[in-house]
């Protein structure tokens, strides 16, 4: 138990609470402590009865049975792996930006879920986060089942095709890809390639709760720094570094 507690405490904050809330609420629904029908996203209940908690519980809850248990575990694995990669990678030192990304993707999933009558949002939300990481690390080689390897940019489409072949699904993955692409385009691609304004700026009130921090080789410093306008100091949008031109020796 101490090892599990240490592992949980080692997770970055947003990944930790997202994963724990998913496992906890799913088990609560599985053992009947709360009715699963009260946890899913239903248009009439949400709009007409003002049961707004459904927008959140439909993200964390997933029905468990013999046919869905493996899929749930795979989702939890992808949630843990790629959320940690983003939170400790591209968004390291900028927790407010990562929080805003999660909020934006979640709100998009809720809107699409209400329009498309989708009661569960775990699949598209996880895929949207995975898609953002894959776009920021397009040329990284990832491993898939049976020892297959390919570039990260293809991973969301491989998952979509795999689910289409195995279970006849794929729609939830497509929604996750759509949401993730919308965030990536508005946050990174549009300002970088089209010289447009940054349309998704993190609100100041989120930064007040999760201020940026400077990361050094020994860990985290206590000195907070002002959030850059578009990207982290010394880094481009894809996680690479702008090394600068240097100085002549002796200057």
**Residues contacting 164, CB < 8 A, separation 6+:** 170
- Look at residue 131 and tell me if it is in a domain: yes
d(CA 70, CA 201): 37
Can you say how many angstroms the Cα of residue 126 is from the centroid of all Cα atoms in its chain?
A: 6
**Residue-wise pLDDT tens digits, 87-102:** 999 999 999 999 999 9
- Look at residue 161 and tell me if it is in a domain: yes
- Look at residue 233 and tell me if it is in a domain: no
Question: How many structural domains does the chain have?
Answer: 1
Transcribe 75-118 into DSSP letters. HHHHHHHHHHHHHHTTTTT-HHHHHHHHHHHHHHHHHHHHHHT-
Does the pLDDT at position 220 exceed 80? no
pLDDT at 1: 66
- Tokens for 168? 């006849």
Enter the pTM of the model: 0.83
* Residues 230 and 242: beta-carbon distance below 8 Å: no
Total count of residues recorded for the chain: 251
pLDDT at 48: 94
Task: Give the three-state DSSP class for 220.
Answer: strand
- Look at residue 1 and tell me if it is in a domain: no
**Residue-wise pLDDT tens digits, 18-65:** 999 999 999 999 999 999 999 999 999 999 999 999 999 999 999 998
- Tokens for 194? 């089209």
pLDDT at 47: 94
pLDDT at 213: 87
- Look at residue 71 and tell me if it is in a domain: yes
- Look at residue 58 and tell me if it is in a domain: no
d(CA 62, CA 23): 9
Q: Give the range of the structural domain holding residue 192, as residue numbers without chain letter.
A: 65-210
- Look at residue 162 and tell me if it is in a domain: yes
d(CA 46, CA 65): 26
**Residue-wise pLDDT tens digits, 111-145:** 999 999 999 999 999 999 999 999 999 999 998 87
- Look at residue 57 and tell me if it is in a domain: no
**Residues contacting 125, CB < 8 A, separation 6+:** 59, 105, 106, 109, 176, 179
């Amino acid at each position: 138990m101490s090892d599990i507690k240490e592992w949980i405490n080692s997770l970055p904050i947003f990944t930790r609470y997202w994963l724990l809330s998913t496992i906890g609420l799913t088990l609560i629904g599985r053992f009947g402590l709360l009715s699963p029908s009260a946890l899913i996203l239903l248009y009439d209940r949400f709009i007409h009865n003002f049961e707004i908690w459904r927008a959140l519980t439909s993200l964390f809850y997933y029905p468990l049975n013999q046919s869905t248990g493996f899929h749930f575990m795979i989702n939890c694995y992808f949630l843990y792996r790629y959320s940690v990669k983003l939170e400790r990678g591209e968004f390291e030192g900028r927790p407010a930006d990562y929080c805003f990304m999660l909020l934006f993707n979640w709100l998009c999933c809720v809107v699409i879920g209400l329009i498309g009558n989708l009661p569960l949002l775990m699949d598209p939300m996880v895929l949207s986060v995975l898609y953002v990481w894959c776009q920021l690390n397009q040329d990284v080689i990832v491993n898939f089942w049976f020892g297959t390897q390919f570039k990260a940019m293809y991973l969301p489409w491989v998952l979509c095709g795999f689910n289409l072949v195995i279970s006849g699904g794929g729609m939830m993955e497509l929604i996750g890809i759509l949401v993730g692409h919308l965030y990536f385009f508005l946050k990174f691609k549009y300002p970088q390639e089209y010289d447009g304004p940054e349309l998704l700026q993190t609100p100041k009130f989120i930064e007040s709760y999760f201020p940026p921090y400077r990361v050094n080789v020994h860990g985290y410093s206590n000195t907070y720094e002002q959030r850059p306008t578009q990207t982290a100091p010394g880094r481009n949008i894809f996680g690479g570094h702008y090394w600068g031109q240097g100085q002549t020796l002796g200057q």
